[in-house]
Amino acid sequence: MWLLETAVLLAVAVLVSSQVAAVAAFVRFKTGIVIPARWWALLVWTCFVLAFVCRRLRSYLRYGDFWLRLVVFLMVHVAAFAVVFRAYPQWHTLWFIPIAVVEALLITGATEDAFYKRFR
C-alpha cells in the first residue's frame, strides 16, 4: 500500500512539474526573468514531501503543533537547499528524487514518533 501511495504521489509531482514548467515559461516570456530549473524542481519536490507527510499523518492535521513542526522542517529544508544550490550551481533536478523520498520518510518518522508519544 505504501509503495502504491508513493507511486501516486510521484505521478502527481510529475504532473505538477509540467504545470510549473508552463508557469516558468510564461514568467520568462513576459518578464525576461529566468528562474533556474533547480528552484522549480525544489518547489515540486517540496510539494511531494508535503503531500506525503500530510497523507501519512492526516490524523495529526488538526493539531497546531503538527503544523509548527512542519513549518520548522520546511524552513530547514529550504535553507539547506539554498546553501547546496550556491555551493553546487550544476545541481541536477534528478538528484531530488532520492533526497525527497528519504526526506519525506525522515520527516514523517520524526513527527509521528513525537506525536505518538504525546497523543496516544
Q: What is the spatial distance between Cα 105 and Cα 72, in angstroms, rounded to a whole number?
A: 16
Q: Give the tens place of pLDDT for each residue, 39-90.
A: 888 888 888 898 888 888 888 888 888 888 888 998 999 999 999 999 998 9
pTM confidence score: 0.71
CA distances (Å), origin 25, targets 15, 41, 48, 55, 62: 16, 14, 22, 31, 37
Does residue 44 contact residue 17 with C-beta atoms inside 8 Å? yes
Q: How far is residue 112 from each of residues 48, 51, 105, 107, measured CA to CA in Å?
A: 18, 15, 10, 8
DSSP assigned state of 61:
T
Question: What is the model's pLDDT at position 80?
Answer: 94
The more confident residue out of 24 and 50 is 50
Domain positions in the chain are: 2-119
Which of 120, 117, 115 is closest to 56 using CA atoms? 115
pLDDT at 117 over 70: no
